[in-house]
C-alpha cells in the first residue's frame, strides 16, 4: 500500500489537495473576520505578488527540472543545480529592481509602502524555495516532495486565520507570509545541498543551457498569465466595483482541479521525455492517453456539478448578496474543459519549448483586442466567453504540433471510450438532479442532498472499472 502511495501523480494530487482546499476556503473565512477594506488590500497584495515571478521569468528554470532529470547521470545534477542558481539570480532582480520603485508602486496601488516591502521579499523567496519539492517529485520521490510543499501551505493558511482573528491587523498576514517564504527558502537550501540538488558553484555552461531552454517557457508563461487574467484586467476598469465583485466571485478557481492538472503533467513530462529519447512512440502515447483519462475522470463531473449547482454554491460561499455571480460561474466552469488537454507536455518533454512562446506571442495580442472589444461593446458575459474561446486556440494547435513531433495520429491521442462514458454518466446524473429539483423545498436542501449522491453514484460506478482498465 505504502509503495503504491509513493508512485504516480495521485499522492501529489491528494496531498496537495489538503492545501488547495485550505487556500480555497481561506478568503471565505477571512471575509468573515476582517473588514471589506482589508480584504481588498489582501486581494491586491496577492494578485500582484503572483505577477512578480512571471515578470522576472523565474518559473521556466524552476520547472525545467522535469526535463533535465532525464539527462545522463553524469550531467543530471549539474543541470538541476543550474536550475536553482538561475532561478535565484532571476528572483534577485525582483529585489534589485523592486526596492527602488517600491514607493511609486505603493502609491499606484493605493496601499502602504511596508506592504510592498513584504511583497517583494516573499516574491523573491517564492520560486527558489520550491526547488527541493520539485526536484524530489521529478526524481520519483513524489510523496516526499508533495509532503514538503503541502506542510508549508497548511502552516501558512493556519497562521493567516489565527493572525486575522487575534491580531486584527492585515499587515501581520503579510509579515507571516514573507517570514514563511524565508524559512522555506533556507530549508530548501539546506536539504537541497544535502541531496546534491543545490550548489553554490557557478557552472556557466549549464546555466546558459538552462536559460536558453527555459526562456521560451518563461516568456510564454508570462504571456499565458496575461491571457488568463486579461478579462479581469480589462473589466476591472470598465465595471463598477460591485459588478466586478460579482464577476470575480463567479470566476471561481477550484484549486484541486488545477492541482490535478499540474500533478499529472509533472509525471507525464519525464515519461514522455524518456520514451522520446528511446524512440518508443507506443509507450509515449499510452502515457499521454492515460494523462487525459486521469484528468477527465474528475474534471468532467466537476464541470457538470458547477453548472447544475451554481446557485447554491454561490449562496453557500458568498451568501445571497452575490447571486448575480451565478451566470459567471456557469460560464467559467466550462473553462475547466481546457485542463483536459496537456497541449504543451510534448514540446516541453522534447526540448521544443520555443513553440510555446510562438503560440502565445500570437494569442496574447489577439486575446487582448478581442476581449476588449467584447467587454466594451457587449458586456461582461460576452467578454468571459470570448476569453474562454481564445484560450482554446493554443490547446488545439498544441495537439496538432504534438502529433507531428511524436508521429502520432490525433484521433489516437484521446481515450475516446472513457471520455464518452465519463461524459454520459455525468450528463445523466445532472439531468436527473435538474428534473427532481422541484421536489425539494429550497435550492440549498436540493444541493445538500443531490450533490453528494451525484458524487457517490459517479465515483462508485466508475472507480473500480477505471482502475482495473475495464473501460
Closest by CA position to 189, among listed 107, 123, 133, 141: 133
Does pLDDT of 435 surpass 90? yes
**Under 8 Å between Cβ of 117 and 101:** no
Domain ranges of the chain: 1-202
Cα torsion angle, 243, 246, 248, 250, sign = negative
Summarised one tens digit per residue, pLDDT across range 153-189 is 889 999 999 999 999 888 999 999 999 999 999 999 9
Secondary structure of residue 7 in the 3-state scheme: coil
Closest by CA position to 121, among listed 164, 80, 144, 91: 91
Q: What are phi and psi of 34, to 5 degrees?
A: -95, 165
Does pLDDT of 107 surpass 60? yes
Rounded CA-CA distance 64/97 in Å is: 25
For residue 237, the model assigns a pLDDT of: 58
Rounded CA-CA distance 133/217 in Å is: 20
The mean pLDDT of 130-137, rounded to a whole number, is: 84
The mean pLDDT of 347-366, rounded to a whole number, is: 80
For residue 1, the model assigns a pLDDT of: 42
Summarised one tens digit per residue, pLDDT across range 366-420 is 888 998 899 888 888 999 999 999 888 888 888 898 888 888 888 888 989 889 9
| Radius of gyration of the CA atoms of the chain, in A | 22
Angle, alpha carbons 368-372-378 (nearest 5°): 145
Does pLDDT of 428 surpass 90? yes
The larger pLDDT score, comparing residue 308 to residue 36, is at 308
Amino acid at each position: 500500500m505504502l509503495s503504491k502511495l509513493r508512485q504516480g501523480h495521485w499522492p501529489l494530487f491528494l496531498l496537495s489537495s489538503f492545501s488547495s482546499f485550505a487556500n480555497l476556503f481561506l478568503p471565505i473565512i477571512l471575509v468573515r473576520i476582517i473588514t471589506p477594506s482589508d480584504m481588498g488590500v489582501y486581494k491586491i497584495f496577492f494578485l500582484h505578488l503572483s505577477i512578480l515571478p512571471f515578470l522576472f521569468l523565474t518559473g521556466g528554470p524552476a520547472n525545467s527540472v522535469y526535463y533535465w532529470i532525464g539527462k545522463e547521470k553524469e550531467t543530471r545534477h549539474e543541470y538541476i543545480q543550474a536550475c536553482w542558481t538561475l532561478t535565484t539570480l532571476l528572483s534577485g532582480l525582483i529585489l534589485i529592481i523592486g526596492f527602488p520603485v517600491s514607493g511609486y508602486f505603493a502609491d499606484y496601488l493605493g496601499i502602504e509602502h511596508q506592504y510592498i516591502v513584504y511583497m517583494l521579499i516573499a516574491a523573491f523567496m517564492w520560486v527558489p524555495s520550491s526547488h527541493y519539492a520539485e526536484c524530489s517529485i521529478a526524481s520519483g520521490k513524489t510523496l516526499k516532495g508533495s509532503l514538503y510543499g503541502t506542510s508549508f501551505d497548511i502552516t501558512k493558511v493556519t497562521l493567516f486565520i489565527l493572525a486575522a482573528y487575534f491580531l486584527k491587523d492585515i499587515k501581520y498576514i503579510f509579515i507571516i507570509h514573507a517570514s514563511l517564504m524565508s524559512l522555506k527558502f533556507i530549508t530548501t537550501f539546506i536539504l537541497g545541498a544535502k541531496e546534491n540538488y543545490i550548489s553554490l558553484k557557478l557552472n556557466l555552461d549549464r546555466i546558459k543551457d538552462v536559460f536558453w531552454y527555459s526562456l521560451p517557457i518563461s516568456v510564454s508563461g508570462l504571456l499565458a498569465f496575461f491571457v488568463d487574467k486579461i478579462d479581469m484586467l480589462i473589466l476591472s476598469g470598465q465595471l463598477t466595483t460591485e459588478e466586478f465583485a460579482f464577476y470575480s466571485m463567479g470566476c471561481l478557481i477550484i484549486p484541486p482541479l488545477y492541482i490535478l492538472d499540474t500533478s499529472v503533467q509533472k509525471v507525464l513530462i519525464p515519461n514522455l521525455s524518456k520514451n522520446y529519447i528511446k524512440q518508443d512512440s507506443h509507450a509515449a502515447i499510452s502515457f499521454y492517453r492515460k494523462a487525459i483519462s486521469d484528468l477527465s475522470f474528475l474534471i468532467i463531473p466537476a464541470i457538470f456539478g458547477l453548472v447544475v449547482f451554481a446557485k447554491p454554491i454561490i449562496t453557500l460561499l458568498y451568501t445571497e448578496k452575490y447571486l448575480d455571480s451565478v451566470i459567471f460561474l456557469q460560464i467559467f466552469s466550462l473553462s475547466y474543459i481546457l485542463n483536459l488537454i496537456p497541449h504543451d507536455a510534448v514540446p516541453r518533454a522534447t526540448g521544443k519549448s520555443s513553440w510555446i512562446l510562438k503560440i502565445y506571442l500570437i494569442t496574447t495580442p489577439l486575446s487582448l483586442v478581442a476581449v476588449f472589444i467584447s467587454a466594451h461593446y457587449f458586456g461582461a458575459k460576452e467578454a468571459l466567453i470570448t476569453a474562454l474561446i481564445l484560450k482554446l486556440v493554443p490547446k488545439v494547435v498544441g495537439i496538432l504540433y504534438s502529433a507531428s513531433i511524436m508521429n502520432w495520429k490525433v484521433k489516437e491521442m484521446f481515450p475516446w471510450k472513457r471520455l464518452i462514458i465519463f461524459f454520459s454518466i455525468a450528463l445523466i446524473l445532472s439531468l436527473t438532479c435538474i428534473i427532481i429539483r422541484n421536489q425539494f423545498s429550497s435550492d440549498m436542501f436540493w444541493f445538500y442532498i443531490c450533490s453528494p449522491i451525484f458524487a457517490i453514484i459517479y465515483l462508485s460506478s466508475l472507480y473500480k472499472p477505471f482502475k482495473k482498465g475495464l473501460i
